[in-house]
A = this chain, B = another copy of it.
């Protein structure tokens, strides 16, 4: 029996330090309505979707910094975010979206949530585990900073997959007693930007039978190389390579975990000079790109998918129970950094 679902990535063009929140919100509402007209049941928005990607800036004023964050208890209720969730509820569309989260005890996280339209509430939260960049800004003024390690703590909620209710008619419920794979509500997992390059997160989701991985991102197309580790590249080539890497990891990890993926970029030239890649896409459990963004601006990427397509991989080539050999994987969870074989 097919388990079809209509899903979308809401790619967003640039949002600037100077952008007004209501303007950004109305762009989001327009994207949501466009997706609704296509019949979308689920729409993914980017990482830190409500603001510019502020970790590229060194922000010393706590007040300014806080203006890019939402309080952990205030989403979806804050004035900055409520209209989006209200519209999602009205349209009957589930949404997943990223934002900078400030906890009651003052900690920052790069967070993503899943809002169920039917339930009218947030049913899952994820905090980015793989924070890229540095804590301290570069001394070189030409360098492009990436200060996520300064503003955020590494995520502490693990990679916890969850079921999303009422998207597929007739999906089995707990009381039905049905336990077989593929009979219940869709199983999803969230990750954020850089997480997608780390096979560990994907595998943690794969081990929970994930059917769709959701990943919002802000990815630089080009930054001058101040590390001295890279052969010189012209910006156009660097951006092409960045899109290639994005798609490669979405495709490869979808295939190796037999799941669909949806990825949504914030794209284009933010804050006048920082170029972000587009490339928002939807990939299949066989690793193919089913749909992808054509622009670097606000754009809905849409596909109708059948979760049954996960079965081939999950039950045969990637039947974990039959094929995984955890006794051989020890170093993955006990060794953080590299230990090279000794010099001969």
Contacts and interface: CB of A to CB of B under 8 A. Distances in A.
Interface string A226-262: 0101110000000001001100110111011000000
Contacts of A244: 287-288
Interface string A326-344: 1011111111111111111
Contact of A163 (B163, B329, B335, B343): B343
Interface stretch (A37-45, A72-80, A100-108, A193-201): A193-201
Contacts of A68: none
Nearest to A161: B341
Nearest to A196: B256
B241 A197 contact: no
Contacts of A241: 286
A162 interface: yes
Interface in A298-344: 309, 311-312, 314-318, 320-321, 323-326, 328-344
A204 interface: yes
Contact of A203 (B199, B229, B288, B318): B199
Contact of A249 (B158, B208, B256, B316): B256
Contact of A209 (B163, B227, B340): B340
B154 A197 contact: no
- 7 residue pairs, one from A and one from B, having the closest CB atoms: A252-B252, A321-B337, A199-B199, A209-B340, A184-B343, A230-B312, A174-B343
